[in-house]
Amino acid sequence: MDRLAPSRRPPGKPLGFQNWRSLLFLHWEVPADQLRACVPASLSLDLYEGKSLMGVVPFAMRDIRTRRWPAFAALNFLETNVRTYVHCRGEPGIYFMSLDANSRLAVWGARMGWGLPYHFAKMKFETGEHQHVYQVQRAQKPAAFSARYQIGTPLEPSQPDSLQHFLLERYLLFVERRGQMWRGQVHHHPYPIQKVEVTEVSDSLIQAAGIKPVSEEPACTHYSPGVDVEIMNFRPVSN
């Protein structure tokens, strides 16, 4: 499987632009049979050394706009996604179990435009010199997340075949809509990564997706100050 090909920018103009900031990557090992039951049959689970992993990624979305929108009309909001790793016809990507945002417009637009499983949630992100706190409370089908953490020193760039690269350097997403699998692509520079110490974490977003992690504590943690993103093509996967 070529894990580097999706990181290359495809030809053509982007559909839109997004700036992802202050990303906390928390990953749990989960039972493969539970995960398999929640992922469309047309997608294969992408395992790392035989383990199935799910991530909860809280961050800030900044300057979100389509190519045709002027910059002053861009949206800013908080988002937290629950995701796992799949491949489709040899292409590695992400499958989202859920996405929470504190913008009703963003939730409506993503559901109607892309069929992504967005939920509206009350969210708070507090930053300090020594500590950061991120909180999520989903408005419907109650589920919540909270984390308290401290950002550490920079890490080396992600190397191919490393766990860090496997989890973070993902440029394709797959979503099933009206019985059809769709493939989306984004482009950005590789994530700058830092160590992070998570002092408190509580999550029920993964369990709300129907999966119980192997352990209450995340198996691995990463932090990135962020990247500037181009939203590229979004097309149906051929049957």
Each residue's pLDDT tens digit, 87-121: 999 999 999 999 999 999 999 999 998 899 999 99
Judge whether 133 lies within some domain. yes
Q: Where are the beta strands (DSSP E) in the chain?
A: 16-30, 44-45, 52-66, 75-88, 91-101, 118-127, 132-138, 144-154, 172-177, 180-187, 194-203, 220-236
**Separation CA 65–CA 109 (nearest Å):** 11
Which CATH number fits the domain that encloses residue 83?
2.40.400.10
Q: Measured between alpha carbons, how far is residue 124 from residues 43, 92, 212, 229 in Å? A: 34, 32, 25, 23
**Separation CA 233–CA 239 (nearest Å):** 18
Residue type, 48: Y
Q: What percent of the chain has pLDDT over 90?
A: 90
Judge whether 27 lies within some domain. yes
Residue type, 7: S
Judge whether 237 lies within some domain. no
Judge whether 239 lies within some domain. no
**Separation CA 117–CA 239 (nearest Å):** 23
Q: Is the pLDDT of residue 180 over 80?
A: yes
User: 136, 116, 111, 114: which is closest to 126 by C-alpha?
Assistant: 136
- Is pLDDT larger for residue 196 or for residue 67? 196
- Per-residue model confidence (pLDDT) at position 239: 62
Judge whether 238 lies within some domain. no
Burial 9-39 (b: 16+ CB within 10 A, else e): eeeeebbbbbbbbbbbbbbbbbeeeebeeeb
> How many domains does the chain contain in total?
1
Claim: this prediction has a pTM higher than 0.75: yes
The range of the structural domain enclosing residue 210 comes to 5-232
Judge whether 70 lies within some domain. yes
What tokens appear for 230 in the block? Answer: 């181009």
CB–CB of 88/103 below 8 Å? no
What tokens appear for 25 in the block? Answer: 């990557």
Taking only the tens place, the pLDDT of each residue in 42-81 is 999 999 999 999 999 999 999 999 998 888 889 999 999 9
Judge whether 59 lies within some domain. yes
Could you tell me which residues come within 8 angstroms of residue 145 by beta carbon, excluding any fewer than 6 positions away? 56, 58, 80, 134, 135, 136, 202, 203, 204, 205
